[in-house]
Structure 1
């Protein structure tokens, strides 16, 4: 019995000791967040305070991206028929006007096509006359149906051939209505389809190009887009039609107004979403591939907030300092939300209700608390 009693007393003793250590741990942890300064230390820096308050916060997102050309504004120029490049004056970066001749091709098939059209045009006149004559004879039963139908088929075949040749001539920019035996051409021009600039040149004088071969790549700068990268956490804040201001790193003072026209529905490997923006007044000052920044103003929201200066970063967390009394301060953890206009919203604001919070001097208090921990 005495041995059993001894064991019980020993267990009770250690149980009490363990409980005492557990009860003291939170107090020890709490004490680490308490800072006391002397009057002399307080006099060495400026300290101001505020209380959490309801504010209207306008947030500005700063994004970056680059200028891109929509597919319909990047045109690959080729020839409908193959030929040799007789001349071209285009160089990468060169500007041109709509309707301007940008190259000239020559080939025997251009001459042959015009010849075939003129021959077919002459043949159809005789075929039409024969068709009309056989139709009249057939109506009076002076000609058989077989002869009439053959004349009709010959006429219609030549008509189809003539129309097909006319369309081919239009593809190489020759007007069939103005073509005569006196103005047959051995060269054909290629015209610029819009006002723009040259992105790439793939040919040189004397080179033979096939119909499938691209001669030039042209850019229409009238509708350049800015492709911005928006982080996943901010994706829901951007709406179609939202206004923004864009600028380059080299000329931050020169701004371009724009608006979001498309918002991506896919998150990339770097956790961003593409937002396509149409810029106003970019013109020739912006070129594809140019990097740009953009400021997007998010409509204001109401929240309980503190000045940004009052919130300090420490070991990956956000903290503020509560002023307990003149010389005593307590570091408190906070969860932050939107920020803008110099204010930052506090999502756990109920924990700071009616408490005085250090603003100016908060970072100095953090340094003093860290020095205390090192000691």
Structure 2
């Protein structure tokens, strides 16, 4: 029994020592880096560590965004037929090119014949009323007939003028020139012509279908003014200015860059907390189609910033730091916010330290971090 108790005590003591060792190892592993570190001249030389003041430079920051090719509403044309009718023929397919004035469809209906007939009858009646008006005016001036008769003829003549003008406007609305219309060229069909040079995006009808005046037969796109619609998040929208330069590229050819500039941007944000920036292409890319995906870099306004080389920045614990020289070969960590700059430099800023006046480690900052971590573990 005594031997058993001795053995149990030994096991318990061994377990206690083992547990204590593991706890110390875990504590050493989790222990954060010290706030400062002392290094010797030999250590600085062997690690190639260099210090100096950061550079103050005017930099143009960049904003990376995504977007799509968009068409302004005034460049999208919906083609309808104002009087309705049956589609007799069309050869349009989505993607086809059409020229302004080109026949893109033919509509026929008896109401078209009736409109032309009404115009010619109104025109013939106006000729008679014109002659009657001239005759009654002469009689009225010579006091041969009553003034009341002349006034009635005058009213009929003016009403007929209005009626004829209304028919003429309806004819021009469907593409018939009233001046060329006579009893020998009445037609039951009318050609629908393209109002722009562009491409067909939608064909909503088929041959033989009756279309109402409100129905959209075709949708055409004018490609001359297509632009990029870029999505910019709320935190960055206030950095965008009209006229800023933009570099854009498409997913099908990411090696080719297209230049442009900011044309206009929305003054509000949507439910996704973002706004839209519309950009104009300096040179319109070929085979551009609405809805194509693109990525872009917006060149923001230049601003003075404190810049350091990339080697001066260390990433540790999910944050970014630089090392400040605070004494004789002694360095302290300073948390910074980092932004991109030009010529291989990074722009840095700190809410608590005036970095512009400090001596910082500009080269091989990770060697200082390594020494600091080793010192903390010791």
Q: Counterpart of 2:5?
A: none
Cα drift, residue 231 of structure 1: 2.9
- Sort the Cα spacing of 1:39 and 1:49 in 2 relative to 1 into closer, same or farther, 3 A: closer
Q: What value does the CA root-mean-square deviation take over the aligned residues? A: 3.0
- Sort the Cα spacing of 1:192 and 1:369 in 2 relative to 1 into closer, same or farther, 3 A: farther
The separation in 1 between residues aligned to 2:47 and 2:86, in whole angstroms, is 81
SS for the counterpart of 2:126 is helix
1:322–1:358 Cα contact (<8 Å) kept: no
**Equivalent residue in structure 2 for 1:108, among 103, 107, 110:** 110
State which drifts further: 332-341 or 148-157: 332-341
Q: Counterpart of 1:355?
A: 359
The separation in 1 between residues aligned to 2:225 and 2:295, in whole angstroms, is 18
Q: Counterpart of 1:145?
A: 147
Name the TM-score, length of structure 1 as normaliser: 0.82
SS for the counterpart of 1:183 is coil
* Alignment pair present for 1:205 and 2:204: no
1:227–1:275 Cα contact (<8 Å) kept: yes
The separation in 2 between residues aligned to 1:319 and 1:67, in whole angstroms, is 40
Cα drift, residue 336 of structure 1: 4.2
The separation in 2 between residues aligned to 1:260 and 1:77, in whole angstroms, is 31
Name the TM-score, length of structure 2 as normaliser: 0.81
Structure 1: tracts of 5 or more residues without a match: 1-28
Q: Counterpart of 1:266?
A: 268
SS for the counterpart of 1:285 is coil
- Sort the Cα spacing of 1:354 and 1:123 in 2 relative to 1 into closer, same or farther, 3 A: closer
Structure 2: tracts of 5 or more residues without a match: 1-30
**Equivalent residue in structure 2 for 1:346, among 345, 349, 370:** 349
Q: Counterpart of 2:244?
A: 242
- Sort the Cα spacing of 1:124 and 1:278 in 2 relative to 1 into closer, same or farther, 3 A: same
Matched residue pairs, number? 346
1:339–1:345 Cα contact (<8 Å) kept: no
- Sort the Cα spacing of 1:321 and 1:354 in 2 relative to 1 into closer, same or farther, 3 A: closer
The separation in 2 between residues aligned to 1:85 and 1:159, in whole angstroms, is 33
SS for the counterpart of 2:299 is strand
The separation in 1 between residues aligned to 2:248 and 2:266, in whole angstroms, is 19
The separation in 1 between residues aligned to 2:174 and 2:46, in whole angstroms, is 85
**Equivalent residue in structure 2 for 1:94, among 60, 82, 96:** 96
- Sort the Cα spacing of 1:373 and 1:79 in 2 relative to 1 into closer, same or farther, 3 A: farther
Deviation per CA, 1:225-252: give whole Å up to 9, x if none. Answer: 2111223333233211222222212213
Q: Counterpart of 1:308?
A: 310
Q: Counterpart of 2:230?
A: 228
1:53-132 alignment, distance < 5 Å: 53-132=55-134
SS for the counterpart of 1:111 is helix
1:310–1:362 Cα contact (<8 Å) kept: yes
1:304–1:349 Cα contact (<8 Å) kept: no
1:57–1:343 Cα contact (<8 Å) kept: no
Cα drift, residue 364 of structure 1: 5.5
Cα drift, residue 253 of structure 1: 3.2
Cα drift, residue 297 of structure 1: 2.2
Q: Counterpart of 1:281?
A: 283
SS for the counterpart of 1:300 is strand
Cα drift, residue 35 of structure 1: 5.0
- Sort the Cα spacing of 1:309 and 1:31 in 2 relative to 1 into closer, same or farther, 3 A: closer
- Sort the Cα spacing of 1:248 and 1:313 in 2 relative to 1 into closer, same or farther, 3 A: same
1:28-47 alignment, distance < 5 Å: 32-35=34-37, 47=49
1:200–1:218 Cα contact (<8 Å) kept: yes
SS for the counterpart of 1:253 is strand
Cα drift, residue 96 of structure 1: 1.1
Deviation per CA, 1:248-269: give whole Å up to 9, x if none. Answer: 1221333333221212221334
SS for the counterpart of 2:143 is coil
